[in-house]
Amino acid sequence: MTVTVRLPDGEQTAQLETQLKAVFAEAFVEPPYSEGPADVERAFRRFRSQVRRRGFRAAIAFDGEDVVGMAYGYPLPANTGWWDTLTDAVPGGRRRPTGDDGLRGTLRRHRHMRSSAVAVTPTVRYHTAEGLHAIEQRLVDVYAEVYAAEATTDPFFSVERFTERLRGHARGPRWGCALGEVDGVAVGYAYGFARTAAYRWNGLITPAPTELLEETDNRTFALCEVMVRASWRGTGVAQMLHQELLSRRTEARSHLLVEEEHPKARALYERWGYTWMGTMQPYPDSPRYDSMLRPTA
């Protein structure tokens, strides 16, 4: 991947709004920001005014013609009202911008970058069930960190129950895992296995068209987990792992579950091309999930 940086003016930046919104939405959907579609729309109502500001500057990172990151801003004028609300002393005794500070410290900055354009990019490797023993503890360690809070109140999310589910999934046909690491430390992963013609949608609570529920040995990839450590959320790593995993699959479609109580996560998967097809409760003591499908290609 080759990332190039262009320096468009305000008018040219405005023409990239759709792509910039996609970067912003991906970067801020997960904690600690947890911003949804309404937040994105508010940010870009401001954006439309900002690109018309005197002295507006932008640096946009591209992979080919796809926007993968952005930084933009404008100099603050001398009459900026909020400057007087600062409670900390400004170095050098300066309490107010002069109007000609440009990029030297009073530039209002918005910096959002997908993982493909940041300095450190995880190495992603694909593993099959035969190699699970070598990576299992790394998968469990990431899970234990991500679900630490839930595990304290709900046995379904305990490390022991997850380990049972992981090993059960790995016994399924054509299990595969995309594991992302930096310097040998796991930062996240995505894994799943192939459904067979014998599969029955027994956990499906809501009605669904019969043609959606028909299975063959090569129709559906069951995407069980997409999991990223907190320090790497909002960087595009989750999408990178998802894309790498699906690129290895031969099944026609991918199926995943997202908890009903996590609408922002569902919105993220919708941006990845998934559509809702029903409500499922795969285990008697599990939460209810939104059941979602998308083509693998």
* Domain chopping of the chain, boundaries: 3-117, 123-295
Instruction: Please state which architecture CATH assigns to domain 123-295.
Output: 3-Layer(aba) Sandwich (3.40)
Instruction: Identify the CATH number of the domain defined by range 3-117.
Output: 3.40.630
pTM of the model: 0.64
Share of the chain above pLDDT 70, in %: 84
Asked if residue 21 lies in contact with residue 41, where contact means CB atoms within 8 angstroms, the answer is: no
Q: Which residues does 179 contact at the CB level (< 8 Å), separation at least 6?
A: 124, 125, 126, 127, 135, 138, 139, 186, 189, 241
Q: What is the pLDDT of residues 104-147, one digit of tens each?
A: 223 333 445 444 334 468 899 999 999 999 999 999 999 999 99
Which two tokens mark 13?
């930046």
Q: How confident is the model at residue 247 (pLDDT cuts 50, 70, 90)?
A: very high
* Distance separating alpha carbons of residues 99 and 251, to the nearest angstrom: 59
Q: What is residue 38's three-state secondary structure?
A: helix
Q: What is the pLDDT of residues 158-205, one digit of tens each?
A: 999 999 999 999 999 999 999 999 989 999 999 999 999 999 999 999
Same fold, 3-117 and 123-295: yes
pLDDT reading at 82 higher than 70: no
Share of the chain above pLDDT 90, in %: 60
Asked if residue 115 lies in contact with residue 234, where contact means CB atoms within 8 angstroms, the answer is: no
